[in-house]
Amino acid sequence: MSNIADNIKHILTELPEGVRLIAVSKFHPVEAIEEAYAAGQRIFGESKVQEMTTKFETLPSDIEWHFIGHLQSNKIKYMAPYVSLIHGVDSFKLLSEINKHAVKAKRVINCLLQIHIAEEDTKFGFSTDECREMLNSDEWKSLSNVSICGLMGMATFTDDTEQINREFHSLHQFFEEAKTTWFADSTHFCELSMGMSDDYPIAIKNGSTLVRIGSKIFGQRNY
Ligand SMILES: *Cc1c(COP(=O)(O)O)cnc(C)c1O
């Protein structure tokens, strides 16, 4: 058995019911994804639209492609026909752009709103106040072809596990607030995407439903 298959098996034993694994395959070749696929993995995460689209065209059609990178609006059209979930939506403008391309592609595109929870200002996302403001404005409700399925966030890159815990906890609290305040009637708003190779156990303790794990499966990336 390959390392990749071993790594996936190991991680799966650590995930409770209701937590799904996204194998983050960015910068790794198609062959690595094929190994993961052979081990049963079907959800893959990518951070560049072009790279994801090439892989989508090459690999089996029952793969769910999740876009986890920072999204530029001029790239949406390439993935609109096939993407399963876009994790990093951080403005109403981007959401309405996605909607436009979803209409053209005759699909409903699932999206997560990215919330800025880290101390670093290099990470993208809405502040909770910006997000409240957008959701209060009601404009998003008229977007017929996007479905807001939950929230996504990244913790600060630090060894301080208490800090990571606080950040994931705050995201979970805002997730609960959003669910009761704006999505009480929605059956779709149920995903909380948080946790990466170094912090997913803390994310799971705080209610994550989607962990995005790259290096723990595929090894180090060569950028
Ligand atoms: C690259 C990336 C990951 C995976 O990171 P690892 O530390 O390799 O597990 C998860 N989420 C996002 C948003 C990423 O860009």
Compute the distance from residue 194 Cα to the ligand 1 centre, in Å: 10
In this structure, the residue with its CA closest to atom 7 of ligand 1 is 197
In this structure, the residue with its CA closest to atom 12 of ligand 1 is 68
When the pLDDT of each residue in the chain is averaged and rounded to a whole number, the result is 96
* pLDDT, tens only, 73-89: 999 999 999 999 999 99
DSSP characters over 78-145: HHTTT-SEEEEE-SHHHHHHHHHHHHHTT--EEEEEEEE-SSSTTS--B-HHHHHHHHHT-GGGG-TT
Predicted local distance difference test score (pLDDT) of residue 26: 97
- The pLDDT of 200-210, averaged and rounded, is 98
Share of the chain above pLDDT 90, in %: 94
* pLDDT, tens only, 137-178: 999 999 999 999 999 999 999 999 999 999 999 999 999 999
Predicted local distance difference test score (pLDDT) of residue 223: 73
Closest ligand 1 atom to the C-alpha of 68?
13
Query: In this structure, what token pair is assigned to residue 130?
Result: 């910006």
CATH class of the domain defined by 4-218: alpha beta
Residue 28 pLDDT exceeds 80: yes
* pLDDT, tens only, 85-132: 999 999 999 999 999 999 999 999 999 999 999 987 766 899 999 999
Closest ligand 1 atom to the C-alpha of 221?
8
- The pLDDT of 47-53, averaged and rounded, is 98
pLDDT band at 1, cuts 50/70/90?
Answer: very low
Predicted local distance difference test score (pLDDT) of residue 99: 98
C-alpha 20/C-alpha 176 separation (Å) is 19
- DSSP annotation of 23 reads E
b/e sequence 127-140, b meaning 16+ C-beta within 10 Å: ebebbbebbeeeeb
> How many helices (H) does the chain have, and how many strands (E)?
9, 8
In this structure, the residue with its CA closest to atom 4 of ligand 1 is 214
**Residue in the structure block whose two tokens are 């989607």:** 210
196 lines ligand 1 (CB under 6 A): yes
21 lines ligand 1 (CB under 6 A): no
C-alpha 162/C-alpha 41 separation (Å) is 31
Cα torsion angle, 125, 87, 111, 57, sign: positive
Q: How far is CA 161 from CA 26, 175, 201, 202, 219, in A?
A: 26, 21, 11, 8, 22
Query: In this structure, what token pair is assigned to residue 150?
Result: 């939950």
